Amino acid sequence: MSQPPFKRILLKLSGEVLMGQGGQPLIDPAMTARVAGEIADARGQGFELCIVVGGGNIFRGLSAAAKGFERASADYMGMLATVMNALAVQNALEQIGVETRVQSAIPMPTVCEPFIRRRAERHLEKGRVVIFAAGTGNPFFTTDTGAALRAAEMSCDALFKGTSVDGVYTADPKKDPTATRYETVGYSQVLAADLKVMDASAVALCRDNDIPIVVFNIREQGNFAHVLAGSGVATIVRNEKE
């Protein structure tokens, strides 16, 4: 995989990445430590890193709403789950000597900082990793959209999405053995073909702000560093003119 040089990156992680084998425990210290190690390696390469972690390992608002929860309340519960995950990742990073700050879109000053863009900028300039929690702070928006929003606000060069597959495919590779992986694909094609990279509002936000989305397999140990170096397997979603 070849890609343009990136300096400041937003890494979007699903909450499920932090889970143990078979889904238990919901936040596994060993898995969290492994992810933290990969983040620390990337920071050691000179990248400026901010992170958004989903909350699906603990509570997923959309699923809860489908089971009868009032949607706004369910989404707020999901946002609180992302704060728990953010604190877990912060703890794992600081145990290996990486200075980290958590900023929440829902103010909770006894737990973490509120989201203040200029303060987050200063943290990144000082070499700290910044973890953005609680999505956008509003119901009816996913953490994908929250990640795209923060990537735009922080003037990130790219949004890296760590998933359980090694890129974007023409179809679900787990269901269709003939599915093939894209090296690069345009935002418009992703939206038109509903390729499930991220939700539509997140893809559109990245398109409008010309932020490439790099989709890669975070579960493969060491893969994040390989992708950052341009030698790993991934798909880049970007404007067709590129």
Q: Which residues contact 179 (CB under 8 A, 6 or more apart)?
A: 169, 170, 171, 172, 173
Two tokens at 2?
Answer: 């070849």
What is the mean predicted confidence (pLDDT) over 29-47?
94
Q: How far is 38 from 31, CA to CA, in rounded Å?
A: 11
The CA-based angle 234-239-242, given to 5 degrees, is 85
pLDDT at 236 over 60: yes
Q: How far is 56 from 19, CA to CA, in rounded Å?
A: 10
Cβ atoms of 115 and 135 closer than 8 Å: no
pLDDT at 216 over 70: yes
Give the chain's largest Cα–Cα span.
51
| Domains (range + CATH), the chain | 8-238 (3.40.1160.10)
Measured in whole angstroms, the distance separating CA 170 from the mean position of its chain's CA atoms is 22
Q: At how many degrees (to 10) do helices 143-153 and 200-208 cross?
A: 10
Q: What is the pLDDT of residue 63?
A: 82
**Range from 21-25, 41-45, 113-117 carrying the lowest mean pLDDT:** 21-25
Q: Render pLDDT for 95-147 as a digit per residue (tens, 0 to 9).
A: 999 999 999 999 999 999 999 999 999 999 999 999 999 999 999 999 999 99
Q: What is the pLDDT of residue 117?
A: 98
